[in-house]
Structure 1
Amino acid sequence: MKYSWENRVDFVVRHMYDIDNNGYLDQKDFECMALRACIIEGKGDCSTGRLTEYLHIMRSLWEEISELADFDKDGRITTAEFREAVKRTCMQKKYDDFPQAMKAFIETNFKMMDLNGDGVITKDEFRYNCITRIAIEDIEPVDEAFDNLLSDDDRKRGGLTLSRYKELYSLFLGHPEDNHEGIYLFGPLPSD
């Protein structure tokens, strides 16, 4: 149940998109994500130019997600609406077939995780990302999740490249089963 498709999609809403924790998504959440991405990538620095780029990405993502998921057109997206939209646009699809703005978000998320900018998410970077989202009291489940993500090639290179991250993200969102490596993309998921 912890890694069920529903719980994975709900995790994305609660722990990645709903920045203000009010129980639904709106444009404010996406503008806050832009600021967060700018500061994380800049390791505290937030240049006006870079923030403008992130605002463009996140506002585009909001507009696209609104078109796909705000079924009642009230300017808010509930978890149920988001889940239905993901089912329609991502279920059983490869990364290249995902909506364009979602792909931009995923690629931005990779950049935020790749703290040293070398193109590979290492175990340390994965750990850091996990603890910024959820309360974790033991590092072992985080490390196990990372190890479960890695293919032999990933192990040789010391982590996940962008192409591998995209592949895992498409599994995380797009495959209803809970018996693949993609379920571990964001570490141990809370079961609530």
Structure 2
Amino acid sequence: MAYSWDNRVSFIVKFLYDIDNNGVLDQHDFECMALKMTLVEGKGDFNYNHYQENLHVMLSLWEEIAELADFNKDGVVTTEEFKVAVQRSCMGRPYRDFPQAMKMFIDSHFKLVDLNDDGVIAADEFRYNCVMRIPVDNIDALDDAYQSLLNDDDRRRGGLTLARYQELYAQFLGNPDENSPAVYLFGPLHELC
């Protein structure tokens, strides 16, 4: 059930948000994410202004997630709490109806994947992003996942635009269908325990 909705949302928590790998989400994860984004965008160079922008986006995302998902108000969000919040705020909704801070994160994440900043995520950028996050031992698995994401317009453009990425991300979180092309947005997934 690697592509089940439950596993996909667990993947988001574990591999995108839980930066310090302590099993829960808290403000520290999002502070770390801001620094990570700044350094990735700068290819190792640190730009204080970009860092402040990224920190604002990430802390806004944390505040929104905490408001939506920290049901017991203990300052941490468990994977189960996050799933309930995603189900309430994203299930069956298009990108435009997602919480504002989540949309800002999705757009920022697109910029991280689009390494050459040409507005399109090409196969090489997709591969790089995947292997930086998950263990993959076969290039064909990455290429198959990428090709599964693409529609005819994507192929003509040479990859995924921001608008298409937004659409796929919304489906990844909000569409329970395991056969949706969006299930491959982060590469070949493995079932999480």
Aligned to 1:186: 186
Aligned to 1:103: 103
Aligned to 1:12: 12
Off by >4 Å, runs of 4+ in structure 1? none
Is there any run of 5+ residues in structure 2 with no aligned partner, and where? none
1:146-182, Cα deviation, whole Å (9 max, x unpaired): 0000010100111000000000001100011111111
Map of 1:58-77 to 2, 5 A cutoff? 58-77=58-77
Aligned residues: 192
Aligned to 2:119: 119
Give how far 1:137 is off.
1.2
Tell me the distance in 1 between the aligned counterparts of 2:138 and 2:39.
27
Specify the code of the residue in structure 1 equivalent to 2:10.
D
Specify the code of the residue in structure 2 equivalent to 1:102.
M
Map of 1:34-113 to 2, 5 A cutoff? 34-113=34-113
Give how far 1:45 is off.
1.0
Specify the code of the residue in structure 2 equivalent to 1:124.
D
Tell me the distance in 1 between the aligned counterparts of 2:140 and 2:25.
32
- When normalised by structure 1's length, the TM-score is 0.99
Tell me the distance in 2 between the aligned counterparts of 1:181 and 1:174.
13
Give how far 1:139 is off.
1.4
Specify the code of the residue in structure 2 equivalent to 1:155.
R
Tell me the distance in 2 between the aligned counterparts of 1:45 and 1:104.
22
SS at match of 1:133: coil
Tell me the distance in 1 between the aligned counterparts of 2:66 and 2:106.
17
1:40-91, Cα deviation, whole Å (9 max, x unpaired): 1111111111000000000000000000000000000000000000000000
Specify the code of the residue in structure 1 equivalent to 2:14.
R
- When normalised by structure 2's length, the TM-score is 0.98
1:112-144, Cα deviation, whole Å (9 max, x unpaired): 000000000000000010011111111111110
**Cα RMSD (Å):** 0.5
